[in-house]
Every structure is written in structure tokens, then in C-alpha cells.
Amino acid sequence: MRQIVSQMRRCVEDYQMIEAGDRVAVGVSGGKDSVVTLAALAKLREFYPKPFTVECVTLDMGTPGMDFAPIRELCEQLDVPFHLIPSQIHEVIFEHRKEKNPCSLCAKMRRGAIHNALGELGITKIALGHHRDDAVETFFMSLIFEGRLNCFQPVTYLDRTGITQIRPLLYSTEGQVRSAVARNSLPVVKNPCPADGYTKRQEAKELVAELSQRYPKLKEYVFSAMQRLPLPEWGVIE
């Protein structure tokens, strides 16, 4: 975890993600990425020169079999407030609408529910658990499926809601995240979503993995190129 916290601090400083007095919510789905983001931010909170607080926001989509008790227990251990947001998103998408390609609508509904909850809580900054591999895969998705060079930004201000999204895990790899979960015995809640593993992102993930076998430094080079390209808000690193 020490390595991830160090990388997180550098990322936060490089992109000026956190200011003194910030209340930072972490969107915790229960997956390994968001859980590590929560644990690392809680650790960074202890010594970062700009004091800030951390809170956990978890959206319950109403998916059968989901149990967030382990996340609640983790928050108690980390001394982090836990907010569970109820919803019926799973029922709407898979039972009422019976969406064949549900990911876009699901993402939109999840964002709306979380942003509404943040507004009620009076929180205007949320940390998302995207790591370096996610960024590289998103870049390939935009190139292959949309025909453009694009990716999510390290820091995104949403003027319609007044919420700022930050991605402080961007300097860590998926392998490092997986290792941190195992070494620190962090709880991971398995996602039973019917579309899990059958998405465009999964296609991009498999493509990048295949190319990386042939070009071992592919992810490192692509990520570095993204920081040098004129992508919005990525040109911070010299």
C-alpha cells in the first residue's frame, strides 16, 4: 500500500486534485479499484500537507446478491463515514427495459444517482478508482470505436452539478492494485451484473493485454504519450 499511497500523492500534487478543507467522497462500488482508492486516500489524509476529509459513497443498484457489509466494516476501520445510496437501477435496466446493451444507460443512471446524493450531502468532490491501465484502455476504446484520440481527464469539473471528479489512482497499475488488495486483506464485493465481461471495455482490455505480450512497455509508452499529447487537462507533466 505504501507504493500506491506514494504514487497517489504524486498524482494529486501533479494535477492539484485536493485543496485544504476539501471533503472528498470516494465512489466505492465494492470492486478492487475503488476499495484501494478509499484505503489509500484515507492513508494519505493522515499526512498530506493540505488537510482534507474522506467519505465513502456506495450506490446500491438493487442487484440481487450484493452485500456491502464488508465495505461498511472497512469504513469503520478507516474512520471514514459510509453512505449507502439505494436505487432500483438494476430492476429498471434488466427487468423493465430489458436492455441488450445496458452499459451506457447504466452509467448515466449511476452518475445521476451519485451526483444527486453528493448534492444532498453537500459534497462537491468525488474520487474515482481509475488506474493507469483503465486510462490506456479508454484511449484505445476512443481510437478504435470512435475514431478519435481521447480519454477521461485526471480532473474534471462538471459545471451542471458543480461537482469535481478526480482520479488519484492514475499512476498505479492494475497489477499493483490487485497486489494491494491481497497484501492488505481488503474486502472486494463481486459484481454479479449480467453484462459483466461482455463489454467494449472488455474487448479493449483483451486487445491491450494481447499487444502487451508482444510489446511489454506498451502501456507505459501509451500513458506517457497521453501526458504529452494535447489531450484536455493531460498536459501537466513536463
pLDDT of the residue at 62: 78
pLDDT of the residue at 66: 82
pLDDT of the residue at 38: 98
- β-sheet bridge partners, residue 58: 84
Q: What percent of the chain has pLDDT over 90?
A: 70
Q: Is the pLDDT of residue 233 over 70?
A: no
Region 149-158 average pLDDT: 91
Q: Which residue has the cell 478543507?
A: 21
Q: Which residue has the cell 463515514?
A: 81
pLDDT tier for residue 63 given thresholds of 50, 70 and 90 = confident
* CB distance 24 to 122 below 8 Å: no
SS3 category, 85: strand
CB atoms within 10 A of CB 86: 11
Q: Report yes or no on 157 lying in a domain.
A: yes
Q: Report yes or no on 31 lying in a domain.
A: yes
User: Which CATH number do you get for residue 204?
Assistant: 3.40.50.620
Residues present in the chain in total? 238
pLDDT of the residue at 198: 63
Q: What one-character DSSP code corresponds to residue 229?
A: S
pTM for this entry:
0.90
Q: What's the domain count of the chain?
A: 1
Strand-strand pairing, 23-27 and 125-127: parallel
* Residue 156, Cβ density class (10 Å: 0-12 exposed, 13-18 middle, ≥19 buried): middle
| Domain extent at residue 102 | 2-228
Q: Report yes or no on 179 lying in a domain.
A: yes
Cell numbers for 237, please give them. 507533466
Region 20-46 average pLDDT: 97
Q: Report yes or no on 194 lying in a domain.
A: yes
- Residue 163's alpha-carbon distances to 18, 109, 110, 124, 231, in angstroms, are 13, 16, 15, 5, 21
Within 13 Å of residue 153, how many CA atoms lie on the same side as its CB? 16
Q: Report yes or no on 235 lying in a domain.
A: no
Mean pLDDT for all residues in the chain: 90
State CA 172 to chain mean position distance: 12
* CB distance 232 to 155 below 8 Å: no
Q: Is the pLDDT of residue 194 over 80?
A: no
Region 21-41 average pLDDT: 96
Using alpha carbons only, give the angle 35, 39, 41 rounded to the nearest 5 degrees: 115
Q: Report yes or no on 233 lying in a domain.
A: no
C-alpha–C-alpha distance, residues 171 and 169, integer Å: 6
- Residue 123's alpha-carbon distances to 53, 105, 120, in angstroms, are 11, 24, 8
C-alpha–C-alpha distance, residues 200 and 40, integer Å: 29
